[in-house]
Structure 1
Amino acid sequence: MSRPYRIVCVVAARPNLMKMAPLLHAFQPPESQVETILVHTGQHYDADMDAQFFGALNLPAPDFRLEVGSGSHAVQTAEVMRRFEPILDQLTPTAVLVVGDVNSTLACALAAAKKNIPVLHVEAGLRSFDRSMPEEINRVLTDQISDLLFTSEASGTSNLLREGIPPQRIHFVGNVMIDTLLQQLPQAPTAASVLRRMHLAGFIGEGEAYALLTLHRPANVDDPLRLRALMTAMVKLSGDLPVLFPLHPRTRNMLKHYDLGGLLDTPRLACLAPLSYLDMLGLMKHACMVLTDSGGVQEETTVLRVPCLTLRDNTERPATVNEGSNAIAGHDPSVILALCRDILRYGGKSGRIPQYWDGHAAERVAAATSTWLQARRERR
């Protein structure tokens, strides 16, 4: 009996957990020859929230925790590499699997590539074409050193081919995060039950429409003028319908730092603590519209067929705009409010669900990986 293939799987932040959960499950059928080792870098870490996500997604506890914590991009990337390299030396894995575009994605891919360990990148090829975004740098570099690249939408495949990636290394498999969404959706609570648990019962009337807002990207929240403009627009929107605003820790800190907290003292703007995955899913599912700067939320609202306005000038997920329910709203408060009022008046677009966003993307990743690993072993 040959030695099982050993794949080190890396997570760093909560969106990574939603992508990794179906992958770990797909690699675990009885006949599988793949042993998975889960490494949590701790790039973004909150013990309580992590516990909720691991429990909700039925994820095993990490085999290794690097506990890197926050820092500048350079410091964080270097620290992940420094702590990840000894794990590679200890485990001598067959491959390293990374997801998404955070600093840990690039750091672990670099550490593996420098040791001639194959890198598998899930969610490859996404491009905003905005090099001012640190995530865009991480995407481009990770793809260039990956051996297998799994794309979630057709644009990803086109981008990789244009950048010179050989077609035999690219596999269009669909969106693994949607695997998790479709699996968890039946358990998602109603908005009323979420608010009741947060002692906000009655904030939304029975059957009343509401908007859901998420905001966390440095380009939006680290700039005091832009943050003030966006929050002022949301205060005005709350005059039309209630707005639910789960506050990201970074956003909360910036509002306090720039003395903008008074903008939150608005009767129909409810600031919520960070939510569990299921609670967030429930609020999205029942919202009349979602305003966000999150890439993952753009994808989730597309599958939920909920109108979404992206508070950025671009998106690395064009399928959510070309096919789904998403629209690029930018940062101009007057434009954002006009688009919101159009949704209230006409209902917004529901779009359609992109190809392979069907709940089976992780199975396609596992099948393609197993075939590649077997062929690679036979060549040796």
Structure 2
Amino acid sequence: MSKKIYLVAGARPNFMKIAPIVRALQKSGDLVYRIVHTGQHYDREMNDVFFEELGIPEPDIFMAAGGGSHSQQTAKIMLAFEEYCQAEPPDAIVVVGDVNSTLACSIVAKKLHIPVAHVEAGLRSGDIKMPEEINRLVTDSISDWFFVTEPSGMMHLRREGKPDEAIYHVGHVMVDNLLYQINKLTQTEMEASETSKFKEVHAAQARRYGVITLHRPSNVDDVEVLSNISKALKEISTELPLIFPVHPRTRDNLKKFDIDLGRHITLVGPQAYMPFLDLWKDAAVVLTDSGGLQEETTALGVPCITIRENTERPITVEEGTNTLVGTDPARIIAEVGKILRGEGKQGRRPHLWDGRAAERIVEVLASKLAGS
């Protein structure tokens, strides 16, 4: 009888990470799987559209956990997931990334003596004020199998006492998904959208452009920090037109703090995966505080400026196209200037970021569960 696993997804980055695992499971046929959607992100822009674009089957389980504080959201997910696991226990669960769903479902499974596999394990920013860092630390403290994207993850896990036989350097499912989707992108016409129209205008004028994403509370909830970042972006935009898909939290704070980004920055709403990929893959530079974009830009060789004081993905700086600049306006402007003058770093795609991480993960899971 085939072993059964639950694949847990709940927020936007999770969808991109489980998609290649689902494809690898379908290809291998060694394991039965169910997709558990916690509903941590629950509006269409952050939810349904990703299942459609990424070719992920409809969730087998949908919890509709919704919003609330970190504690409220985590508690709702734990209560709902416990019911499902007790009613129909899986042989293992797979959690990805570092969102509240990852933490909540790992705790529930472990207390029910269900093995936990953590994909994207071992990443550390060293900043305990980040909710994601807490989620990473707790999840890794109780997981059974660790699937790692880069050498720093292996180093952290070993330092924290994890046994070598439980740690697997497999590559990155986010890159698996990126390479799969970019091939689809070249075969498909993009529907008319705000971003495609923006690209068309600048292509017609043979002009370069940049892309912005900002959503970290440390960047967008503090009026002084957000004002300083905005001043830098406004100055950069006088030389390089920028397009900014604005996270709802960021949009609210721009309005609340009465921050004007100027006429050279085009504000658009949150983007579905494919239009956004089509936008940033051709950008002169991406300015972001996103973890995933640091990796994706490195995978495609797009210059990236990370507006944070730290990163849990150091390989993107050490080997990739990412530059960590903090939030000082002068530094942000200076580093973008280097890129525009052709003086930016030349990165490379890291080892095992080859589009086959999910296959390696499924092979390990099938082997581990076959012996259980």
Contact 2:190–2:196 under 8 Å retained in 1: no
Contact 1:307–1:348 under 8 Å retained in 2: yes
TM (normalized to structure 2)? 0.95
Residue 340 of structure 1 pairs with residue 339 of structure 2: no
Equivalences for 1:243-254 in 2 at 5 Å? Answer: 243-254=242-253
Displacement after TM superposition at 1:201 (Å): 5.5
Partner of 1:258: 257
Partner of 1:75: 72
Equivalences for 1:1-380 in 2 at 5 Å? Answer: 3-29=1-27, 32-188=29-185, 194-195=193-194, 202=201, 205-260=204-259, 263-264=260-261, 266-376=262-372
**Whole-Å Cα distance in 1 between the matches of residues 193 and 318 of structure 2?**
32
Displacement after TM superposition at 1:258 (Å): 2.1
Displacement after TM superposition at 1:346 (Å): 2.1
Displacement after TM superposition at 1:43 (Å): 1.0
Displacement after TM superposition at 1:130 (Å): 0.8
Contact 2:215–2:247 under 8 Å retained in 1: yes
- The runs of 5 or more residues in structure 2 that have no matched partner are none
**Whole-Å Cα distance in 1 between the matches of residues 346 and 15 of structure 2?**
27
Displacement after TM superposition at 1:25 (Å): 1.2
Secondary structure class of the residue paired with 1:15: helix
Displacement after TM superposition at 1:284 (Å): 1.5
Report % sequence identity: 47
Contact 2:196–2:279 under 8 Å retained in 1: no
Displacement after TM superposition at 1:259 (Å): 2.4
Secondary structure class of the residue paired with 2:371: helix
Contact 2:196–2:275 under 8 Å retained in 1: no
1:365/1:255 CA distance change after superposition, 3 Å: same
Displacement after TM superposition at 1:40 (Å): 0.8
Displacement after TM superposition at 1:355 (Å): 0.7
Displacement after TM superposition at 1:193 (Å): 6.2
Contact 2:195–2:279 under 8 Å retained in 1: no
Give the root-mean-square deviation of aligned CA atoms. Answer: 1.8
Displacement after TM superposition at 1:127 (Å): 0.4
Secondary structure class of the residue paired with 1:132: coil
Displacement after TM superposition at 1:33 (Å): 3.0
Displacement after TM superposition at 1:96 (Å): 0.8
- The runs of 5 or more residues in structure 1 that have no matched partner are none
| Alignment deviations for residues 180-208 of structure 1 (CA, whole Å, 9 cap, x no partner) | 10011133379996547557853564331
1:374/1:205 CA distance change after superposition, 3 Å: same
Code of the residue aligned with 2:182 in structure 1: it is L
Contact 1:178–1:300 under 8 Å retained in 2: yes
Code of the residue aligned with 2:212 in structure 1: it is L
**Whole-Å Cα distance in 1 between the matches of residues 144 and 199 of structure 2?**
49
Displacement after TM superposition at 1:347 (Å): 4.4
Contact 1:6–1:36 under 8 Å retained in 2: yes
